[in-house]
Amino acid sequence: MTKNTSTDPVPLLQDLVRCRSVTPDEGGALTLLENLLSTHGFTCHRLIFKAEGTPDVENLFARIGTTGPHLCFAGHTDVVPPGREEDWSHPPFAADIDGDFLYGRGATDMKGSVAAFAAAVIDHLKSTGKPGGSMSFLITGDEEGPAINGTVKVLEWMRANGHMPDHCLVGEPSCVEKLGDTIKIGRRGSLSFVVTAEGRQGHVAYPHKADNPIPKMARLITRISEATLDSGNAHFDPSTLAVTTIDVGNPAGNVIPSRVTAKFNIRFNTEHSHQSLRDWVSSEIEAVKAEQGGIWSVTSHEGADAFLTEPGAFVGLVQDAVARETGILPRLSTSGGTSDARFIKDYCPVLEFGPTNATIHMTDERISVEELRATKAIYGAILEAYFNNQP
């Protein structure tokens, strides 16, 4: 089939940015995508999920093709609030173009990737007439929010309805300095702790009659802050621990408090699990308790598992496609916070590639028009390679 006129992602991104889809509001962004993809042969499903105590969330799953190989593009159209709109040089939902830059909330995180991939898919279908397998979009409105009624539940629906992909590409803005410099093949895990030490309240003039819990907590904080959790491994930097607060709730300067609470977070690599880290924290508390006593309690919250998509055919295919389009061989990274890839990794191999992330969540978030079109070209190269040489 003869290739038709190239689809420009710029006007599509402008339309998406003008949708005020601040989490959890859909803002018209999913409707826009649904109409576009339906026009090009996709079967679309609008999926609304609810949970007690959380807002209802609209999501979109769209697929063309019924056979394998099946490549899924995952992303989100919800955005963080813009903050004080008067601080922006261009209105955050106007999608103004100034020079080479398109300004707006979500321009890079991550409506830019959504627009670029959609444009690449449309051109691929114009060129081939069919995907040579299946292509799908998993687009959530809950990535920037609690992440309860979004990707997690869409994946469950996909599995129940026979839509499991062979591979998934998440369009998070992965590049650091220049488009093409980084592919994310994994993410660190996250585990948060709240630890409380209790003693006995008393007058500061008679400290021997009290049992001050603050030195006990200080000892624990010193121990865990100075500990080396690991030395990293081939794909991950060393795990890190950050103390975020120590609180006694004591407004008086002449009273020894009876209780102190500390909070800290561990970002960990594949050398650890949530349970192994809970065990380690417990052992550190027991060591301080043996030294200084006190009544201790601890709770933890699991943020995400550490995971890695091992370098192989799929990673190599994407890496080669990026290198062909940019002249840069992207490094394989596991840095950064969390993304919805942490849910997808339980279903299929997943990696993340998208534009540079210099302005995400910032005032005057923006993307270069040239970079947006180049991102579309990279996604097009990935599609061509995937369906001509399935990994």
Q: What is the CATH number of the domain that holds 355?
A: 3.40.630.10
Q: What is the pLDDT of residues 287-341, one digit of tens each?
A: 999 999 999 999 999 988 999 999 999 999 999 999 999 999 999 999 888 899 9
Residues 264 and 218 in one domain: yes
Q: Which of 270, 304, 338 represents a domain boundary (last residue)?
A: 304
pLDDT score, position 337: 82
Q: Which of 304, 323, 339 represents a domain boundary (last residue)?
A: 304
- Within-domain flag for 3: no
Q: How far apart, in whole angstroms, are the C-alpha atoms of residue 388 and residue 391?
A: 9
247 is catalytic: no
- Within-domain flag for 64: yes
- Within-domain flag for 299: yes
In the numeric block, the tokens 């940015």 are attached to: 17
| Upstream peptide bond of 11 is cis (omega within 30 degrees of 0) | no
Closest CA to 6 of 387, 373, 326, 327: 373
Q: How far apart, in whole angstroms, are the C-alpha atoms of residue 356 and residue 333?
A: 14
Answer yes or no: are the C-beta atoms of 258 and 198 closer than 8 Å. Answer: yes
pLDDT higher than threshold 60 for residue 363: yes
Q: What is the pLDDT of residues 370-391, one digit of tens each?
A: 999 999 999 999 999 999 876 6
pLDDT score, position 131: 82
Catalytic-role residue among 78, 211, 284, 325: 78
> Quick one: DSSP state of residue 85?
G
Q: Which of 240, 270, 304 represents a domain boundary (last residue)?
A: 304
166 is catalytic: no
pLDDT higher than threshold 60 for residue 120: yes
Catalytic-role residue among 109, 143, 284, 340: 143
- Within-domain flag for 213: yes
Q: What does the pLDDT average to over 129-147?
A: 93
Residues 50 and 114 in one domain: yes
> Which of 38-42, 129-133, 160-164, 369-373 bottoms out in mean pLDDT, i.e. has the lowest?
129-133
Residues 179 and 238 in one domain: no
For the chain, the residue count is 391
- Within-domain flag for 2: no
- Within-domain flag for 4: no
Q: What is the pLDDT of residues 14-30, one digit of tens each?
A: 999 999 999 999 999 99
Q: Which domain holds residue 197?
A: 189-304
pLDDT above 70 covers a percentage of the chain that reads: 98
Q: What does the pLDDT average to over 143-169?
A: 96
Q: How far apart, in whole angstroms, are the C-alpha atoms of residue 265 and residue 270?
A: 16
pTM over 0.85: yes
- Within-domain flag for 155: yes
In the chain, the number of structural domains is: 2
Residues 267 and 378 in one domain: no
Structure tokens that stand for 210 in this block: 């009290």
| Upstream peptide bond of 110 is cis (omega within 30 degrees of 0) | yes
pLDDT higher than threshold 90 for residue 77: yes
- Within-domain flag for 293: yes
* Band of pLDDT at residue 357, cut at 50, 70 and 90: very high
Residues 145 and 198 in one domain: no
Q: What is the DSSP string of 325-348?
A: HHS--PEEE--SS--THHHHTTTS
Residues 287 and 248 in one domain: yes
pLDDT score, position 369: 98
The pLDDT mean for the chain works out to 95
Residues 42 and 124 in one domain: yes
Residues 161 and 34 in one domain: yes
